[in-house]
């Protein structure tokens, strides 16, 4: 394609004439997105969207391209960049492509380009044939946590839904990522009314999404869409109260300060500082923690091993590192023991994964599942199963049957809902 002189590509490193933007020039920008050729597209499952969205190959990676107005594209691009700097789980903005025209000179919509999040799935693709209650609850819990994280930094979403979220498996749970910030607003802080409005939007949208799935027989019949949508409000308020609520205790109960901080750490949040004040009668103390961004276990694991994984995965791997150290090197420094674990355990496992199975799951998720598999084997056999034995069993009996979550291959003429039903086993 020879780009027209009016094509304007804005990237995080400048314009289309700079490194990064030049790669984008190879895409067929003079063609409406819905008419892009199969050769340019990546066959990945898509969520629902009010706009035309396609996945495209770009220099060995995959990007999502969305057609919208120039104002909306530039605004969302900047919002996503600001959220990235705040370390909020969201898709990475790549570029805004404006000034598009077709071969006849007719204008085409501006495109927002974001990086595809590897191993992530829209909620409709998380399940194989039917969305079960426990899987649905885990998805809603993940979305509630994401919403809390957004509200803590002052982001009002304005269109909270499962459809506007991507999910990655995280040690038996899910981690949620914001994928659509078009209606969002970033403020210094949010009012109670703004947070409540986001919650009400979430409740209404999730109920509608579940009703849509039920009409297609894609959800367990005993799931009540309205009652289930209420779960996000309940989960959100429990977490918000835990993170931001005051706690009172008597002067002789100062140990409860540490207890509260440990509880917050277990949820993945750090406490930067806290204030303690006395009640008017002086009989009790009130603790008000200042919670900063989540990722306590992620940061600890990253500092010890260099591994950058999901929060629940990090929690599970840290537990295995502690056990490895206690059994094999009880007198060794924590950092040195973690490095030995990285070589003797984690890298041994990742090197053992056959090439044809490497796209099934992230290495950290494989490690988590292997540890769970080893525990089940040991329980069933009433003995401590060695890791190499558990690894061989996992590679032979479990991993080959997992769905490939790095690249779910779709037939070009198959609808998304049918395409994600390829596996015969239910992976919820």
What are 191-202's pLDDT values in tens digits?
A: 999 999 999 999
Is pLDDT at 5 greater than 60 in this prediction?
A: no
Is pLDDT at 417 greater than 80 in this prediction?
A: no
- Percent of the chain residues past pLDDT 70, beyond the cut: 81
Q: Which is nearest to 243 in space by CA: 193, 291, 182, 295?
A: 291
Lowest mean pLDDT across 9-23, 63-77, 141-155, 312-326: 9-23
- Percent of the chain residues past pLDDT 90, beyond the cut: 29
The pLDDT score that the predictor gives to residue 205 is 92
Handedness of CA 261, 271, 331, 390 (dihedral sign): positive
Q: Could you read off the pLDDT of 353-373 as tens digits, one per residue? A: 988 888 888 888 899 999 989
Q: Do 148 and 236 form a contact (C-beta atoms < 8 A)?
A: yes
Q: How far apart are the first and last CA of the chain?
A: 44
Tell me the average pLDDT across 288-314.
79
Query: Residue written as tokens 């995965």?
Result: 313
Tell me the average pLDDT across 131-142.
77
Question: Within 10 Å of residue 337's Cβ, how many Cβ atoms?
Answer: 20
Tell me the average pLDDT across 138-154.
89
Which of 128 and 428 is assigned the larger pLDDT?
Answer: 128
Confidence category of residue 108, pLDDT binned at 50, 70, 90: very high
Tell me the average pLDDT across 375-390.
88
Q: Could you read off the pLDDT of 200-251 as tens digits, one per residue? A: 999 999 999 888 888 877 777 777 889 888 989 998 998 888 888 887 877 7
The pLDDT score that the predictor gives to residue 424 is 30
Dihedral, CA atoms, 143, 147, 153, 159, nearest 10 degrees? 110
The partner residues of 275 in beta bridges, in order of sequence, read: 288
Is residue 113 left, alpha or beta, with left meaning phi > 0 and alpha meaning psi from -120 to 50? beta
* Mean per-residue pLDDT over the chain, rounded: 80
Which of 402 and 109 is assigned the larger pLDDT?
Answer: 109
**pTM, two decimal places:** 0.68
Which of 367 and 125 is assigned the larger pLDDT?
Answer: 367
Strand ranges inside 108-172, DSSP E: 110-115, 121-122, 155-156, 165-170
**Any residues with CB less than 8 A from the CB of 232 and at least 6 apart, and which?**
140, 143, 144, 147, 199, 202, 203, 206
Q: Burial, 50: exposed, middle or buried (Cβ in 10 Å; 0-12, 13-18, 19+)?
A: exposed
Q: How far is CA 205 from CA 65, 179, 190, 211, in A?
A: 24, 16, 21, 10
Q: What is the CA radius of gyration of the chain?
A: 24
Q: Could you read off the pLDDT of 45-86 as tens digits, one per residue? A: 555 567 788 888 887 788 999 999 999 999 999 999 999 988
Question: Within 10 Å of residue 272's Cβ, how many Cβ atoms?
Answer: 10
- 3-state DSSP assignment of residue 248: strand
């Amino acid at each position: 394609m020879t780009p027209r002189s009016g094509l304007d590509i804005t990237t995080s490193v400048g314009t289309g004439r700079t490194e990064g933007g030049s790669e984008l020039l190879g895409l067929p920008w003079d063609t409406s997105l819905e008419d892009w050729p199969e050769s340019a597209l990546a066959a990945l499952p898509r969520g629902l969207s009010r706009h035309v969205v396609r996945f495209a190959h770009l220099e060995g990676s995959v990007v999502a391209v969305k057609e919208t107005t120039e104002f909306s594209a530039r605004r969302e691009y900047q919002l996503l960049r600001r959220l990235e700097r705040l370390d909020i789980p969201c898709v990475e903005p790549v570029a805004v492509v404006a000034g598009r025209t077709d071969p006849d000179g007719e204008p085409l919509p501006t495109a927002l380009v974001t990086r595809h999040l590897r191993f992530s799935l829209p909620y409709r693709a998380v399940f194989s044939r039917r969305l079960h209650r426990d899987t649905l609850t885990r998805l809603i819990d993940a979305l509630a946590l994401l919403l809390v994280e957004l509200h803590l930094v002052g982001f009002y979403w304005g269109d909270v839904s499962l459809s506007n979220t991507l999910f990655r498996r995280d040690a038996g749970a899910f981690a949620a990522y914001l994928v659509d910030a078009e209606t969002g607003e970033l403020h210094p802080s949010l009012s109670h009314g703004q947070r409540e409005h986001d919650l009400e939007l979430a409740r209404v949208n999730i109920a509608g999404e579940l009703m849509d799935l039920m009409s297609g027989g894609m959800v367990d019949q005993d799931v009540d869409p309205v009652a289930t949508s209420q779960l996000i409000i309940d989960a959100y308020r429990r977490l918000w109260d835990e993170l931001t609520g005051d706690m009172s205790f008597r002067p002789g109960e100062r140990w409860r300060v540490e207890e509260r901080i440990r509880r917050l750490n277990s949820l993945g949040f750090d406490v930067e500082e806290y204030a303690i004040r006395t009640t008017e009668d002086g009989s009790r103390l009130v603790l008000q923690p200042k919670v900063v961004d989540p990722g306590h276990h992620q940061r600890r694991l990253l500092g010890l091993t260099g591994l950058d994984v999901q929060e629940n995965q990090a929690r599970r791997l840290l537990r295995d590192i502690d056990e490895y150290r206690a059994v094999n090197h009880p007198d060794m420094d924590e950092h040195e023991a973690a490095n030995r674990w990285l070589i003797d355990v984690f890298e041994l496992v990742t090197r053992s994964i056959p090439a044809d199975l490497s796209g099934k799951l992230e290495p950290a998720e494989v490690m988590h599942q292997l540890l769970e598999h080893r525990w089940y084997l040991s329980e069933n056999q009433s003995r401590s199963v060695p890791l190499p034995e558990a690894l061989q069993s996992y590679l032979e009996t479990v991993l080959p049957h997992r769905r490939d979550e790095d690249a779910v291959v779709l037939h070009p003429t198959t609808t998304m809902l049918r395409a994600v039903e390829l596996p015969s086993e239910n992976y919820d």
